[in-house]
């Protein structure tokens, strides 16, 4: 790996010599390495090297153009805000395709800490604020210039349709393993797909959204525990604001990890939901329309069912999309998301009340 990274670093004209590197295991899609260079004066400078998964991202050049446009816009409009700095090759590209057709990019490493989960409600609220603010910063950005890097990425209805097509085809003979999961998904199929149908019909505003709002996509200052920057901009596309909210709480309010094999440990934590809602709604309240505020809980349920159907679809079609660490990893992930979806259904009224209460309090305090 050293030789490969060394070669890639030369293409991006990084100063000094590759001194050391480590593999970053976070993320289910791309391969990431932290590479530290020693410069001539002996100082060390870390970078992130990323090999983009071109099975998932069929047009990675389009991703890099999107990232360039969005980060350029934020840099210009909010010069004090930290943005990601990608390096360029001699040809002036912010990516490099190696001889073996691998797609590489290099970004400055930002000294920070990320949270895969947190018990600290302040950190959770700050995460909500960071993702909400990210959307608000881009509210005047013309989304029509962005490529749709993964078409229908959060089209829940289509995701479920695809799953059930593959159930019919049963390409790997695995359908029999998941009868219970499929019967639940069939029962909630329409309800979970409803918002995406409304979005396609133009009944829900189209905004520029992040689309992958896991809490570990916010970098925090190690000391102050304040957010520094939102990262992982691969799926920035026009989408529903509430799905950014939803994907984040799906992850952060889960009492267990995303691939917890013991589903009796999987619950949806309402206090964490409230904390995130405070941050997110506080940062977006001026822009959000009633149809968006009123559907935050339904969105949370829908995206949880959507991810379950994506994991299960990957299981049924041979585990080609998400990185798997053992044979039934995708099935375990599916069961975990379904346990979460069921708990969200149980807590629906309480969660709806929390959204109303938080919204009212923000409005009353005039707090943004
Ligand atoms: C993938 O690799 P990561 O963690 O950034 C996936 C998300 C899923 C997530 C589930 C492009 O994100 O949509 O919510 O796994 N990203 C893509 O852990 O499919
Ligand atoms: Mg991602």
Q: Is 258 in the pocket of ligand 1 (CB under 6 A)?
A: yes
Kindly state whether residues 216 and 309 are assigned to the same domain.
yes
Q: What is the pLDDT, as a whole number, of residue 366?
A: 76
- Tell me the H-state helices in the chain: 2-11, 60-77, 121-137, 156-169, 179-200, 241-252, 270-284, 290-293, 296-316, 329-346, 348-365
Kindly state whether residues 137 and 228 are assigned to the same domain.
yes
Give 214 Cα–ligand 1 centroid separation in angstroms: 8
d(CA 225, CA 245): 21
Q: What is the pLDDT, as a whole number, of residue 368?
A: 47
The helix/strand count (H/E) of the chain reads as 11, 9
Residues measured by CB to lie within 5 Å of ligand 2, the ion: 212, 232
Q: What is the pLDDT along the chain (368 residues), one digit of tens a residue?
A: 999 999 999 999 999 999 999 999 888 889 999 999 999 999 999 999 999 999 999 999 999 999 999 999 999 999 999 999 999 999 999 999 999 999 999 999 999 999 988 899 999 999 999 999 999 999 999 999 999 999 999 999 999 999 999 999 999 999 999 999 999 999 999 999 999 999 999 999 999 999 999 999 999 999 999 999 999 999 999 999 999 999 999 999 999 999 999 999 999 999 999 999 999 999 999 999 999 999 999 999 999 999 999 999 999 999 999 999 999 999 999 999 999 999 999 999 999 999 999 999 999 997 54
Measuring from atom 14 of ligand 1, which residue has the nearest CA?
212
Kindly state whether residues 101 and 130 are assigned to the same domain.
no
Q: Distance of alpha carbon 95 from its chain centroid, rounded?
A: 21
Give 28 Cα–ligand 2 centroid separation in angstroms: 7
Q: Is 358 in the pocket of ligand 1 (CB under 6 A)?
A: no
pTM over 0.75: yes
Q: Which atom of ligand 1 is nearest to the CA of 323?
A: 2
In residues, how long is the chain? 368
Give 357 Cα–ligand 2 centroid separation in angstroms: 31
The residue segments making up the domain with residue 72 are: 2-108
Q: Is 244 in the pocket of ligand 1 (CB under 6 A)?
A: no
Structural domain contains residue 115: no
Cβ-proximal residues to 26 (8 Å cutoff; 6+ apart), any chain: 32, 114, 116, 216
Q: What is the pLDDT, as a whole number, of residue 25?
A: 86
Q: Is 29 in the pocket of ligand 1 (CB under 6 A)?
A: yes
Structural domain contains residue 81: yes
Kindly state whether residues 69 and 218 are assigned to the same domain.
no
Structural domain contains residue 113: no
Q: Which atom of ligand 1 is nearest to the CA of 217?
A: 5
Domain boundary residue among 81, 108, 135? Answer: 108
């Amino acid at each position: 790996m050293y030789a490969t990274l060394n070669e890639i670093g030369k293409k991006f004209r990084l100063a000094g010599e590759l001194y050391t590197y480590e593999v970053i295991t976070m993320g289910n899609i791309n391969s990431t390495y932290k590479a530290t260079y020693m410069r001539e004066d002996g100082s060390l400078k870390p970078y992130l090297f990323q090999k983009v998964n071109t099975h998932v991202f069929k047009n990675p050049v389009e991703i890099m153009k999107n990232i360039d446009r969005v980060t350029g816009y934020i840099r210009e409009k909010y010069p004090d805000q930290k943005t990601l700095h990608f390096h360029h090759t001699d040809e002036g590209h912010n990516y490099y395709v190696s001889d073996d057709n691998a797609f590489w990019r290099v970004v400055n490493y930002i000294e920070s800490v990320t949270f895969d989960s947190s018990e600290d409600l302040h950190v959770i609220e700050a995460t909500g604020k960071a993702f909400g603010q990210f959307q608000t910063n881009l509210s005047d950005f013309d989304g029509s210039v962005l490529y749709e890097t993964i078409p229908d990425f959060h089209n829940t209805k289509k995701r479920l349709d695809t799953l059930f097509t593959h159930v019919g085809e049963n390409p790997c003979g695995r359908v029999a393993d998941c009868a219970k999961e499929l019967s639940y998904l069939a029962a909630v199929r329409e309800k979970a797909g409803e918002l995406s149908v409304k979005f396609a019909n133009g009944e829900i505003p189209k905004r520029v959204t992040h689309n992958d709002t896991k809490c570990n996509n916010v970098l925090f200052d190690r000391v102050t525990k304040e957010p520094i920057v939102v990262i992982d901009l691969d799926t920035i596309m026009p989408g529903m604001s509430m799905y950014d909210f939803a994907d984040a709480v799906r992850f952060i309010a889960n009492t267990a990890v995303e691939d917890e094999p013991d589903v009796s440990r999987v619950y949806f934590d309402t206090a964490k939901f409230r904390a995130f809602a405070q941050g997110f709604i506080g940062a977006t309240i001026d822009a959000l329309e009633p149809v968006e505020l009123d559907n935050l809980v339904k969105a949370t349920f829908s995206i949880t069912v959507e991810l379950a159907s994506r994991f299960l679809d990957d299981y049924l079609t041979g585990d080609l999309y998400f990185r798997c660490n053992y044979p039934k990893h995708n099935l375990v992930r599916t069961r975990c998301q379904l346990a979460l979806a069921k708990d969200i259904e149980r807590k629906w009224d309480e969660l709806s009340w929390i959204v109303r209460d938080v919204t009212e309090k923000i409005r009353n305090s005039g707090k943004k």
